[in-house]
């Protein structure tokens, strides 16, 4: 296994090209199961997770060709309905094939996704939603078996203990588009990735009102057609590089991203003294003042501050004089990165559900362990801020969600290289 080595302290300079969104690609790739026509998806990032989803589509009978970020999905000989444990267990996002399999084949057997370091991650809302459409559900041997003689539209409240659910909204939406009659999803997730999936389905011929809002109204149609579609930019990748620029006081230009998807992050950074703005051509610039102020943040479902940028924001706060309080209302225990940052000299502690960040003068390089995708990104930022060399172990976590990571960092002058695990 490789180790990612970082020599910190350098200020970076140059352009970073943002890739297509991982969290938009995965449900949209799953949605290709809703048609036997050919679908072409552009700007699909080449990541461990999208490659897993390709394998899953192939195991479900699709013929998939992937070249230069363009994915072509064609119907194969026989459509399958079983999503195997070995694929779903490596990527919980695979669970979003439940809805389209039910929608198209009226049956699905999908392995229950495991939990992960950021939380238990139940799927009760997914089940509630498809049951409301008439699916019969049983759980056996770690698999959810869903069958429906037919799916009938219904009014569904999809809010859970932590608010809306991104992939539960995706699953129910994809089951409803071919159902009979009208479905209303109340308290739907409003994330840009769900808006992108909704737009994709509409262009395939689905009848959906309320795109991007917490209330989606779907009138079932008979068939969906194959189309060519371009995935939106990855706002979490863009936010990660914006925070890297702020944390290392660097002059980075973030290209091909959409700053409108990052209002909450821009708000918090402005409070801290970091100016983030889009130029006329859409390029995002980050200008850093000399003195930053500590800023507190609480994550919420969109349009709130994204939980997927919480760890990266904490890294930025770690060397700002004063105290910032960070809490996560989406995954209250998503703080595994605290211990690793403290190994680098940060002074962060838990107080109840919050993390209290006491700014320190400097972080120091150290060997650290990646755990989940975004915690790993936070360690990358910390390592490039720190004095000395940092080794990030288990970097396969990073490879799940950041396309061409090392190339993009090298291009802006970061001292980053790989070594073999000793
Ligand atoms: C999506 O996961 C993203 N993954 C996650 O990004 C992201 O952190 C999360 O949304 C929240 O924004 C993909 O899109 C592939 P949720 P998802 O259902 O849909 C609870 C990354 O780093 N919940 O919106 O699985 C859940 O436990 C990943 O790219 C239930 O209680 O998340 C959580 O507390 C990490 N019951 C909250 O809702 C359910 O049935 C939000 O989870 C479903 C979820």
Does ligand 1 have an atom closer than 6 angstroms to the CB of 331? yes
326 confidence band (pLDDT: 50, 70, 90): very high
Q: Is 20 helix (H, G, I), strand (E, B) or coil?
A: strand
Does ligand 1 have an atom closer than 6 angstroms to the CB of 307? yes
In sequence order, the 6+-apart residues with CB closer than 8 A to the CB of 316 are 243, 246, 247, 272, 381
Helix H or strand E segment including 341:
helix 337-343
- 118 vs 90, more confident: 90
Ligand 1 center to 278 CA (angstroms): 29
Measured from the CA of 23, which atom of ligand 1 is nearest? 14
Measured from the CA of 170, which atom of ligand 1 is nearest? 19
Q: pLDDT digits over 42-83, tens only?
A: 999 999 999 999 999 999 999 999 999 999 999 998 999 999
Q: pLDDT digits over 348-367, tens only?
A: 999 999 999 999 999 999 99
Does ligand 1 have an atom closer than 6 angstroms to the CB of 299? no
Ligand 1 center to 121 CA (angstroms): 7
Task: Report all structural domains of the chain as residue ranges with CATH numbers, in order of start.
Answer: 2-16+234-420 (3.65.10.10), 24-230 (3.65.10.10)
Q: pLDDT digits over 114-154, tens only?
A: 666 777 778 999 999 999 999 999 988 889 999 999 999 99
Q: Whole-number mean pLDDT of the chain?
A: 95
The Cα 344–Cα 362 span in angstroms is 9
Is 116 known to be catalytic? Answer: yes
Catalytic residue among 64, 75, 105, 116: 116
Q: What share of the chain is helix, strand, coil (3-state, %, to 5)?
A: 35, 30, 35
* 3-31 average pLDDT score: 97
Q: pLDDT digits over 274-301, tens only?
A: 999 999 999 999 988 778 999 999 999 9
What tokens were used for 300? 């919420």
Q: Which residue has the tokens 């390089």?
A: 365
Overall pTM > 0.75: yes
Does ligand 1 have an atom closer than 6 angstroms to the CB of 328? no
Does ligand 1 have an atom closer than 6 angstroms to the CB of 401? yes
Q: pLDDT digits over 154-206, tens only?
A: 999 999 999 999 999 999 999 999 999 999 999 999 999 999 999 999 999 99
What tokens were used for 87? 């694929």
pLDDT number for residue 128:
97
Ligand 1 center to 254 CA (angstroms): 26
């Amino acid at each position: 296994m490789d180790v990612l080595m970082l020599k910190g302290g350098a200020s970076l300079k140059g352009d970073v090209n943002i890739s297509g969104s991982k969290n938009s690609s995965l449900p949209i790739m799953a949605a290709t199961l809703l048609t036997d026509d050919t679908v072409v998806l552009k700007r699909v990032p080449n990541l461990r997770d999208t490659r897993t989803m390709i394998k899953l589509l192939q195991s479900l009978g699709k013929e998939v060709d992937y070249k230069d970020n363009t994915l072509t999905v064609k119907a194969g000989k026989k459509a399958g309905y079983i999503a195997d444990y070995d694929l779903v267990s490596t990527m919980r996002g695979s669970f979003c094939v439940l809805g389209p399999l039910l929608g198209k084949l009226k049956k699905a057997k999908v392995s229950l996704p495991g939990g992960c370091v950021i939380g238990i991650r139940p799927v009760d809302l997914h089940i509630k939603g498809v049951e409301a459409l008439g699916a019969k559900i049983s759980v056996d041997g770690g698999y959810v078996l869903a069958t429906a003689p037919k799916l009938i539209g219904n009014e569904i409240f999809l809010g859970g203990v932590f608010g809306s659910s991104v992939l539960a909204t995706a699953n129910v939406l994809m089951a409803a588009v071919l159902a009979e009659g009208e479905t209303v999803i109340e308290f739907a997730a409003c994330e840009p990735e769900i808006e992108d999936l909704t737009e994709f389905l509409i262009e395939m011929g689905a009848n959906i009102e309320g795109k991007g809002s917490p209330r989606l109204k779907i009138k079932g149609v008979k068939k969906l057609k194959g189309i060519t579609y371009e995935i939106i930019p990855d706002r979490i990748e863009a936010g990660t590089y914006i925070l890297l620029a702020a944390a290392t006081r660097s002059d980075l230009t973030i290209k091909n991203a959409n700053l409108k998807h990052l209002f909450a992050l821009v708000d918090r950074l402005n409070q801290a003294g970091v100016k983030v703005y889009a130029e006329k051509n859409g390029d995002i610039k980050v200008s850093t003042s000399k003195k930053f102020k500590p800023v507190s943040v609480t994550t919420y479902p969109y349009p709130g501050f994204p939980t997927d940028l919480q760890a990266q924001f904490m890294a930025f706060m770690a060397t700002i004089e004063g105290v910032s309080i960070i809490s996560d209302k989406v995954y209250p225990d998503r703080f595994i990165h605290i211990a690793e940052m403290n190994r680098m000299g940060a002074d962060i502690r838990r107080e109840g559900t919050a993390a209290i960040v006491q700014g320190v003068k400097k972080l120091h390089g150290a060997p650290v362990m990646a755990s989940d995708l975004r915690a790993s990104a936070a360690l990358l930022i910390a390592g490039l801020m720190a004095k000395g060399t940092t080794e990030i172990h288990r970097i396969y976590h990073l490879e799940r969600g950041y396309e061409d990571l090392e190339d993009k960092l090298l291009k802006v002058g970061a001292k980053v290289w790989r070594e073999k695990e000793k």
